């Protein structure tokens, strides 16, 4: 009975070592690549779509914030900078 428990403990230690070795050698990622091609394509397609949508939304929000800031700077009537920024704001508003 005691030798059976000892063997189980040794087996558990070896399984832990194997698990550590597999996680360090990135075998899981390699198996993912070798998996179903249709699943990989679906996941990557969805990831690409969501990244594209996120980038589009982010650029739109950042552009709007920059335009609002530039409009506020124009209202301060800074001599040289105000005219330059007013031209930029006019160009952007004409193209919207």
Assess whether pLDDT exceeds 90 at residue 61.
Answer: yes
Q: What is the pLDDT of residues 39-53, one digit of tens each?
A: 888 888 999 999 999
Q: What is the mean pLDDT of residues 2-13?
A: 84
The reply to whether 91 and 49 lie within a common domain is yes
Domain count, the chain: 2
Assess whether pLDDT exceeds 80 at residue 17.
Answer: yes
CB 58 within 8 A of CB 46: no
Answer whether 0.95 is exceeded by the pTM.
no
What is the enclosing helix (H) or strand (E) of 87?
Answer: helix 79-95
The reply to whether 16 and 41 lie within a common domain is no
End-to-end Cα, the chain, rounded Å: 81
The reply to whether 15 and 52 lie within a common domain is no
The reply to whether 47 and 1 lie within a common domain is no
Token pair for residue 71? 């409009």
CA atoms within 13 A on the CB side of 51: 6
The reply to whether 55 and 30 lie within a common domain is no
* Domain that includes residue 23, residue range: 1-35
The reply to whether 60 and 95 lie within a common domain is yes
The reply to whether 51 and 66 lie within a common domain is yes
């Amino acid at each position: 009975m005691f030798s059976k428990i000892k063997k189980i403990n040794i087996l558990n230690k070896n399984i832990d070592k194997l698990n550590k070795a597999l996680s360090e050698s990135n075998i899981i990622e390699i198996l993912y690549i070798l998996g179903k091609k249709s699943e990989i394509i679906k996941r990557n397609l969805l990831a690409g779509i969501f990244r594209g949508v996120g980038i589009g939304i982010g650029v739109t929000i950042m552009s709007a914030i920059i335009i609002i800031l530039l409009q506020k700077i124009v209202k301060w009537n800074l001599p040289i900078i105000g005219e330059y920024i007013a031209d930029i704001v006019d160009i952007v508003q004409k193209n919207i």
